Structure 1
Amino acid sequence: MDNPQAFLEHDLASRWQAPGCAAAIVKDGQLLAKHAWGYANLETRAPLTTETIFPICSISKQMVCLVLWDLLDGPNGTDIEAKIFDTLREILPAETMSNHDLTISRLVGMQSGLRDYWALSVLWGAAPQSRFSLYQDAPQAMKRLGGYHFSPGSELSYCNSNYVAISLAIEKVTGRTLRDLLQEKVFMPAGMKTAALRPDTSRIPAPMVGYEGGETAGYIRYANRIEWAGDAGVMASLEDMIAYEKYVHRSAADANSIYYKMSREPTYIDGNVAHYGSGLMRGKLAGKDGNPDMEWVGHSGGLAGFRLRRTFFPKHNLSIVTLFNSEIDTMAVTEYAAKRLILGASIEQTLPQRKKDPDWDGWISWTGNYFDLDARLAVVVRQDKPHHIQVNYGGHDEGLDLTGRGTATSKYMTIDTAPDGPLAIHRPKENREFAAQLIHTPTNPYHIRADYVGEYYSADIDSTMHITGSGSVLYAAFDGYLGKGPVHTMRYLGAHVWLMSCFRSLDAPSPGFWTVEFAGDGGEAVTGATVGCSIARKVEYKKKA
């Protein structure tokens, strides 16, 4: 691209209008372009600049891993690793630490099998915009995670609990704050002059404000009140992130650097290549007309009112950083920018062509409700337009193209099926293959059992669930150590399976739809329920008499 500065100022800014954004392009360790537009605060008309501080949220994870692996790579690394494990035994539930497949690499690679504590905060009675304390509430959360929802090392499930536990362990073992360690081992070497660990999201430096909503509904100021640890606590400006990208470019070419070592592709316990490790996610963007795929390494960040992303394309030695104080799809922004910068083409010109079976006449009806018997999660499928379906699995919708007779594909999932048969689902980035059985909806779906209503308790995570309602309408509410949470609406799918809606919670993005599967004793009486979302599965509740 001849003029990347003009690209940022005119093309990118006009396509993704928002309250404000700061973006940068770094190539071969040098800044090509940077631009900030819009406002940090719409009410006071404070402009957003390249020096405005953002909460960079989960981008923090890779920086914590730079600290972690620097400690473990040092002369006392073996001793420090043993002490971290001993401390993790104090922080996490005792039964989890007895599994020898749980390693530090699998913790920071999202392969731990632990449930995500931000998702579980819903079941512990947290309300949106309520307070969450790092040193009071977080340790209690770690003790209430329950057992594994899959065997460590076998799958991937995004889990902030891993990074809270590691962060607390690092502080105890070293006797130093994570803030000081990040300053010494990451921010100063990288030249990040204003970056710091600032866990309290209610104290984002002025004038920065995060906004929900959009152009049609209006932008709504959101007041966060949660405290993060190493899972998401760093705040930094675009200038800081430019310095970090330059540091990444230097480190990626140095085989002795900590970044180089931790950015190598990890694997699962079965030997398959994993797409996440040490706070770094990996992926590919499809090229155009025979161009090779564009491999990237990076991470996104999200908090109510903020969406952020840094992405490094190693083969092209190119980085793209986008920081928004609104809830923009930053992956779409990055994909568009990368294809313009690397291929010189617009995203419309580089969309992959659907490979359609010439004999396929479209006879399959995809709309239906299914159930993953392993993870105990609902799979809701609807056909929203010709040759395209929406699949809600574990909480949120994902679009798939229909590519043949009973086949649908997306970046993250492939589905094969037959009329009235199970769905064969492959999710390679999670290392999962499973069958989802069709849920047969009764002839009269509005005849709902009265004994669903009642009080349920989970000893596994120390949570009480209240199911209320009558006729065809049910509601769920949860009590726990974080309080008495709001009421959630429920929708009947069939058999004993319901969806519970949760699109506002302490963290962002929220879990979305939870699956609630009621259970009986082999007869008619309802005796319990299994509750779960993709990052917090199979939470067992027993119904109180």
Structure 2
Amino acid sequence: MPFSTADVEAALRSIEQTYRGPAGSVAVVHEGQVWRRVWGFADMEKRIPMTSQVQLPICSISKQMVCLALVDVIRNPTPVMKQRGSEPEVQLATELLAILPQLDEIPGGRQLTLAQLHSMQSDDPFSLSLDAPRAIQRIKSLHFEPGTEMSYSNVNFYILGRILEKVAGQSLGQLLAERVFIKAGMATASLCPNTAGPPHPIVGYEGDEKHGYVPAVNRVEWSGDAGVVASLEDMIAYEQWLHKKWRNEDSIYRAVTEPPTFKDGSPACYAYGFVHGETAGKSWIGHGGALRGFRLQRLHVPSENLSVVVLFNHEGDSGSAAESIVKKLFKFEDPAASVETAVSEWNGSFLDEETQLLIKVTPGDAREILVTYLGEEKAKLVSSTVAQSRRTLATVEKDVIHVNRLRENKKLQGRRIDETSEMPPSSDYVGIFHSTDADSTFICNGNSTLMYGAFNGYLGKSPVSLMKYVGEDIFLLGQKRGLDAPAPGDWTVVFHRNGDGKVTGATVGCQLARNLRYERIS
């Protein structure tokens, strides 16, 4: 379908107007044509304008590039790999066991494969590169049987990066340069793992127009899960390269973008660092990226030979921005929900017994509710008892909520929590609790009006976080900021009592690290 220049330029211009912030750069690639739009300032204090040559950290978009290099290494082994004599897949699988020797002792651990790592179907708990070896050593269990669910985890790609380097005998930066950047014509792209020092002159900004913008401070070191920096021109070259590769049915790009499935054959949405989605009735393959002060998105619609790239040095919703461009190009409008207002049966907090995590439902705009589990998500009311978003199908029946997390292949069943009772005496909860599995200590203190929580562990001491009483010995522990983006959000803390009514322990967790059992030690 051809697009007029006027329509494309109007779509790009709408992003600048709708997602206001320090700067942005966007592009549309279609049938060999390229449209780009750049605005704002890469550095507001120094008044350095944004250009299409300015490099930004593209964050988790890096994952697919690591996978492209991985499959290229399998097809075209390095000299070191050839000297070993065994098949590349065997070498990679052997190194996986070398990095995670404890898989032999973890239920279901021996089932873990490289494919489940890049498909986010392993559910190794989340971790970051500098301290990842110590975190990996402490993995004693998995959240689910590998291949049955999906849970986004950066540690999967940290492990992939280490396996790739060890087996190939080259650094990840060198492998990416030789097997992706040079081939794609990404002239200034490189691996820059240290987020504390992004390439000059780019600055990422937190904040908004109401509260002001401040330079974001990052201290994460990425290696495999993210780390690539690239300009808009680099990303345009990348999209053009992928378009060319798509036309070759035997290409690596075609191989890594086959529709993914779970172990039981049901459709999945993630593999090889690519998300499979749909917008305006068009299937696309892509990925987003996020770090404090940066939001990014790329997506490719193969059936239309169309790509969209959005790069922000602020925290605007780059995913929605990219999809809005697709919708405008195809003149698509979202259908209205059939229910005018939310009904009160939805509102409240529900505890999923399996994960011990809280599901919170609050009113949204007309015809919407807000469902908070992994994060706050808008769901449109299909009827008075059914709500749906792209990722979630929810139904409510009196005091029970059923939530089908479509992307994760995860079904939750939450019972309504009685939020009307007053909090028991704070002395019931104040104390020190220890988790052997997490090698972590939870310190809870406060008084009758306000409770606080903090953690000590092998990574050091956490800041103190505020806790909010929900009901029935359940609290939310706020965690709105994290090393990565987005932050974990609220952690659920469920205190446990013995037969005498004394608090003896607590289960602490969020979606990325759930069911952590802490026992009272004082």
TM over 0.5: yes
Mapped contact 1:476–1:489 kept (Cα < 8 A): yes
Classify 1:530/1:69 alpha carbon distance in 2 versus 1 (closer, same or farther; 3 Å). Answer: same
Mapped contact 1:8–1:34 kept (Cα < 8 A): no
Task: Report the TM-score, using the length of structure 1 for normalisation.
Answer: 0.89
| Aligned residue among 402, 416, 419 for 2:381 | 402
Partner of 1:344: 331
Classify 1:90/1:361 alpha carbon distance in 2 versus 1 (closer, same or farther; 3 Å). Answer: closer
Per-residue deviation at 1:158?
A: 0.5
Q: Is 1:416 aligned to residue 395 of structure 2? A: yes
Q: Is 1:257 aligned to residue 236 of structure 2? A: no
Partner of 1:200: 194
Mapped contact 1:249–1:317 kept (Cα < 8 A): yes
Per-residue deviation at 1:370?
A: 0.4
Residue 117 of structure 1 aligns with an amino acid whose one-letter code is: S
Residue 167 of structure 1 aligns with an amino acid whose one-letter code is: G
Residue 36 of structure 1 aligns with an amino acid whose one-letter code is: V
Residue 158 of structure 2 aligns with an amino acid whose one-letter code is: V
Partner of 2:114: 104
Per-residue deviation at 1:141?
A: 2.4
1:128-207 → structure 2 map (5 Å cutoff) = 134=129, 136-207=130-201
Aligned CA-pair RMSD: 2.0
What is the alpha-carbon distance in structure 2 between the residues aligned to residue 361 and residue 312 of structure 1?
36
What is the alpha-carbon distance in structure 2 between the residues aligned to residue 446 and residue 188 of structure 1?
61
Residue 158 of structure 1 aligns with an amino acid whose one-letter code is: Y
Name the SS for the 2:397 alignment partner. coil
Q: Is 1:430 aligned to residue 408 of structure 2? A: yes
Name the SS for the 1:404 alignment partner. coil
Name the SS for the 2:4 alignment partner. coil
Q: Is 1:7 aligned to residue 10 of structure 2? A: yes
Name the SS for the 1:243 alignment partner. helix
Partner of 1:46: 48
| Aligned residue among 22, 25, 40 for 1:22 | 25
Mapped contact 2:107–2:141 kept (Cα < 8 A): no
Name the SS for the 1:450 alignment partner. helix
| Aligned residue among 487, 499, 503 for 2:464 | 487
What is the alpha-carbon distance in structure 1 between the residues aligned to residue 101 and residue 498 of structure 2?
29
| Aligned residue among 341, 349, 352 for 1:372 | 352
Q: Is 1:446 aligned to residue 423 of structure 2? A: yes
Per-residue deviation at 1:162?
A: 0.1
What is the alpha-carbon distance in structure 2 between the residues aligned to residue 36 and residue 144 of structure 1?
45
Consecutive unaligned residues in structure 1, runs of 5 or more? 119-133, 288-292
Mapped contact 1:403–1:409 kept (Cα < 8 A): yes
Aligned length: 511
Partner of 2:296: 308
Mapped contact 2:117–2:156 kept (Cα < 8 A): yes
Mapped contact 1:117–1:145 kept (Cα < 8 A): no
Residue 354 of structure 2 aligns with an amino acid whose one-letter code is: D
Per-residue deviation at 1:44?
A: 0.2
Per-residue deviation at 1:442?
A: 5.3
Residue 465 of structure 2 aligns with an amino acid whose one-letter code is: H
Name the SS for the 1:235 alignment partner. strand
What is the alpha-carbon distance in structure 2 between the residues aligned to residue 143 and residue 328 of structure 1?
36
Q: Is 1:516 aligned to residue 510 of structure 2? A: no
Name the SS for the 1:202 alignment partner. coil
Task: Report the TM-score, using the length of structure 2 for normalisation.
Answer: 0.93
What is the alpha-carbon distance in structure 1 between the residues aligned to residue 99 and residue 134 of structure 2?
9
Q: Deviations over 1:488-529 (max 9, x none)?
A: 111111112211110111111111111111123344222222
302-311 or 67-76: bigger deviation:
67-76
Q: Deviations over 1:218-245 (max 9, x none)?
A: 1111121221001011111111101100
| Aligned residue among 76, 91, 102 for 2:99 | 91
* Matched-pair identity in %: 39
Per-residue deviation at 1:460?
A: 1.2
What is the alpha-carbon distance in structure 2 between the residues aligned to residue 315 and residue 361 of structure 1?
37
| Aligned residue among 238, 261, 267 for 2:261 | 267
Consecutive unaligned residues in structure 2, runs of 5 or more? none
